[in-house]
């Protein structure tokens, strides 16, 4: 397609306008940490994964410090099926015995983590892949939700952000797999949302972005709720506005803000450039939870 002078001029004017609108946000966020939980379903889509990698590189280039914590449920399911290892769930949570834990660690710390690191490299950036076990990043404890024994499943109890800060100082993007150890050295599978929220609190991040496959929290009329205080978010859980999988996501955001994060956002990771739209436009996207009364 031939681009005439008028079209080119209008295009550059649009770009200039977008950049001008974004400048106040770039100045506000320069040098700040953004912890982004990136889900396994979005990673299955090659075009979405490519856009995500490019957006992370762009944030780094403009002086913002993204830290990525990824999931990998679909990839784990596929590998368990391939190895003919039965995957059992209790209360919607995966039971993780020793054989399953081996696969979880192999897929998360190996395949998924390194593919994401390579994607960032292909997009022109530098990334450093690690798990919660590396550098004593995450110490965890075994959990028994509702008294149910899920095997080698844990939750973060302590995060050492030093190693992440050192990676950032070297102009690289940390990419973290949610596998950790307890005080005895036992490997535990950690929910990626919980790991990301704990890391965001430890870094005192200005934003914790929880990418999912929905636009955010909806009101009873199915309209997006753009912003909530912590009290309102808790009320949404208590009065049934938040249902099913949205409940633990809201709780993770509340806990992150209580831990010192300036704001946590639930947004649709499948929407093109949703992270950039949230950070660099006045209206943002998704549902923001903050400590605003």
Residue owning tokens 């036992």: 186
Tokens for 179, please give them: 């596998």
CA 7, CA 46: separation in Å to the nearest integer? Answer: 30
Dist. CA 38–CA 108, nearest whole Å: 12
CB 270 within 8 A of CB 45: yes
Active-site positions read 37, 40, 73, 193, 249
CA distance 154 to 145: 10
**Residue 93: C-alpha distances to residues 106, 139, 148, 187 (Å):** 19, 21, 10, 17
SS3 270: coil
**CA dist., res. 30 & res. 279, Å (int):** 11
Q: Are 106 and 114 in contact (CB under 8 A)?
A: no
């Amino acid at each position: 397609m031939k681009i005439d002078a008028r079209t080119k001029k209008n295009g550059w004017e649009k770009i200039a306008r977008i950049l001008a609108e974004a400048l106040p946000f770039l100045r506000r966020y320069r040098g700040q940490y953004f912890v982004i939980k990136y889900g396994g379903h979005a990673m299955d889509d090659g075009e979405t994964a490519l856009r995500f990698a490019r957006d992370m590189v762009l944030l780094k280039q403009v002086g913002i410090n993204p830290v990525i914590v990824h999931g990998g449920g679909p990839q784990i399911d596929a590998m368990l099926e391939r190895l003919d290892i039965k995957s059992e769930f209790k209360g919607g949570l995966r039971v993780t015995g020793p054989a399953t834990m081996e696969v979880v660690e192999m897929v998360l710390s190996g395949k998924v983590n390194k593919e994401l690191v390579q994607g960032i490299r292909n997009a022109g950036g530098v990334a450093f892949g690690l798990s919660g076990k590396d550098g004593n990043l995450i110490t965890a404890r075994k959990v028994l939700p509702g008294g149910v024994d899920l095997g080698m499943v844990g939750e973060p109890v302590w995060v050492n952000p030093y190693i992440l800060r050192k990676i950032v100082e070297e102009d690289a993007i940390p990419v973290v797999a949610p596998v950790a150890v307890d005080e005895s050295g036992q490997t535990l599978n950690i929910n990626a949302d919980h790991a990301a929220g704990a890391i965001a609190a430890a870094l005192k991040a200005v934003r914790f972005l929880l990418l999912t496959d929905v636009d955010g929290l909806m009101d009873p009329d199915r309209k997006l709720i753009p912003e909530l205080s912590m009290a309102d978010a808790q009320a949404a859980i208590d009065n049934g506005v938040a249902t099913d999988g949205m409940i633990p996501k809201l709780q993770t955001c509340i806990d992150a803000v209580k831990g010192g994060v300036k704001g946590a956002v639930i947004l649709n990771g499948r929407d093109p450039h949703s992270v950039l739209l949230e950070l660099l436009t006045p209206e943002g996207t998704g549902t923001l939870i903050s400590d605003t009364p």
